[in-house]
Structure 1
């Protein structure tokens, strides 16, 4: 957990285990613990699977292209991806992808497809399941945005994130996997998971991101708390950090303008009492979250591997509680 205000890191603490279990035992409903000597403690430098915090980096990469004039906010996806015929036929726009208002359903079973061609065919044929303008959170929005960015730039998403965000900011611990030293996630097996992959460490947890080779618009990045602090400080400072600038202030403001581009705004369920005055952030399925409060120039990073050794019903109380503590601490 890391919290800061402006250029100051106020609190940075690590607790628990990056690796504690060898497997999950479905008969007893408990994890099979490693011997104490084989466990790996979590430290401030432990990389974690960011899960859906990846969406924030995809969104920033998209707004970078909007700032450069190579991507239109209200342009139709079909203008860039005519082969994605279902989205093109329904007039899905870039803005709808960024705001989760395209109507696309939450996900597709890409992990069950036999090859990349079949996965691509499935995405191309996927039409919105709800009317445009209605909020429906969907990983598919960021996947389509990834394809748009890759089509207009001629570069893959991992290169766009590296060259446009992490390298200029000196975020050397942030990258798409594999990441061998990362905290372990899940003993991923059916029926509780969607694929049979065993205990995961250093490879993306999300099954669809895994099926896509580990680089996806919705999941796949690994990072540390200090690196994410740099990302937070950059956005709160209007897009610059030291000599580097990744966005202009007006375009950072665009990210945080309701309803938010990629970023969720003022959500008490994970932002606690930081919500209600323009706070922005996101959560990740593996147990991660990030909150920025432009009003007080504060930020909060929480990285956890709560799916280790097996996914469970999400508990957002720790996220909201930490955010409320930070809100009360800021004068």
Structure 2
């Protein structure tokens, strides 16, 4: 992975551990100050008006070990409910609203997939998992995966052919949910790209089978604890930004206004820990995650993955990570940028070519989900791309 030598502490001697992140300025990070100022102004504007893009947002951008921008805007909690008649949120009195802060945790939604991916890469590095092994080698009772010869690589590249989701939340109990996963056949020919939460759910079962440990333990012991990401973990998180007034018919379950409980209905039905959703985190913790991967799998003295396996994960077409996706990466796309988005309004982008990273956490589903609009994510990434020239 390309990494600037200046990012390492050498003291005049051989390069040693990657330097830890530190607050700074755009200028100190080697980023254009005007572009970073525009980035912050545009993120703040996303939280304003009667129908804002999101109730609250926190943005962090950096280069190398320097955090150039870290700003919060709007509200972590703005509404008490959604009014379907008025098609608008019921606003809390000003004194009851909770402002977004730079340390506010957000429901990461599908950014959780990145942590499941890294947990899988760790098993690849240890030799307990084969990238081209069949899922049936680890989970022979998953009969549909066995019949269609679905591989680990297909799970990581979303080419298993499995449909985007399965209504596990509608199953009466855990046994029925497990049976549904075991018997779910691909809806498209394996090898066809179909983005699917089911890929990461199957991968979760593979990881838990070969390690004999639950996913939350794998993430905590293998990723967040070594990296010092104390604010990252599966819920509940009562201090998190609120998400949706989750009721039918616009949602898939009747749960009311959510704050600190996972938004994704399937992850909720599975107890809050799932391969595709369930993690909560802050921008600063996610910056550490980005920094570690940009430094080949190490941060300070901690090592979560070897450089060769980071390179394998982020090489085209990408394992778990999306690569060069202009719809949310803007002008960062086209040169090996990697990242992901989450349904709740989250996104993360890393650009190895310029050693830059951008995290945008927002609660766009507060007070109710809407059709996805990734324009603001792409524009924020474009600001960073322009700043890094």
For residues 222 and 62 of structure 1, the distance between their equivalents in structure 2, rounded to whole angstroms, comes to 20
TM-score (norm 2): 0.85
Residue number among 105, 122, 129 corresponding to 1:64 in the alignment: 122
Residue 9 (str. 1) matches residue 79 (str. 2): no
Cα distance, 1:77 vs structure 2? 0.2
Residue 280 (str. 1) matches residue 338 (str. 2): yes
Cα distance, 1:133 vs structure 2? 1.2
SS of match in other structure, 1:111: helix
SS of match in other structure, 2:273: coil
Residue 202 (str. 1) matches residue 260 (str. 2): yes
For residues 134 and 84 of structure 1, the distance between their equivalents in structure 2, rounded to whole angstroms, comes to 20
Q: Deviations over 1:8-39 (max 9, x none)?
A: 00111100000000000001101001111000
Please identify the structure whose Cα radius of gyration is greater.
2
For residues 138 and 259 of structure 1, the distance between their equivalents in structure 2, rounded to whole angstroms, comes to 16
SS of match in other structure, 2:347: strand
Task: Compute the RMSD of aligned alpha carbons.
Answer: 0.4
Cα distance, 1:264 vs structure 2? 0.3
Q: Deviations over 1:301-321 (max 9, x none)?
A: 000000000000111111000
Q: Deviations over 1:124-148 (max 9, x none)?
A: 0001111111110000000000000
TM-score (norm 1): 1.00
Residue 33 (str. 1) matches residue 91 (str. 2): yes
Q: Deviations over 1:23-74 (max 9, x none)?
A: 0000110100111100000000000000000000000000000000000000
Residue 115 (str. 1) matches residue 115 (str. 2): no
Residue 49 (str. 1) matches residue 107 (str. 2): yes
SS of match in other structure, 2:103: coil
Aligned to 2:235: 177
Query: Which segments of 5 or more consecutive residues in structure 1 lack a partner in the other structure?
Result: none
Query: Which segments of 5 or more consecutive residues in structure 2 lack a partner in the other structure?
Result: 1-58
Residue number among 343, 351, 359 corresponding to 1:301 in the alignment: 359
Residue number among 135, 141, 147 corresponding to 1:77 in the alignment: 135
Aligned to 1:105: 163
Cα distance, 1:291 vs structure 2? 0.2
For residues 50 and 2 of structure 1, the distance between their equivalents in structure 2, rounded to whole angstroms, comes to 15
- Matched ranges for 1:79-228 at <5 A: 79-228=137-286
SS of match in other structure, 2:164: coil
Aligned to 1:250: 308
Residue number among 330, 350, 355 corresponding to 1:292 in the alignment: 350
For residues 140 and 154 of structure 1, the distance between their equivalents in structure 2, rounded to whole angstroms, comes to 20
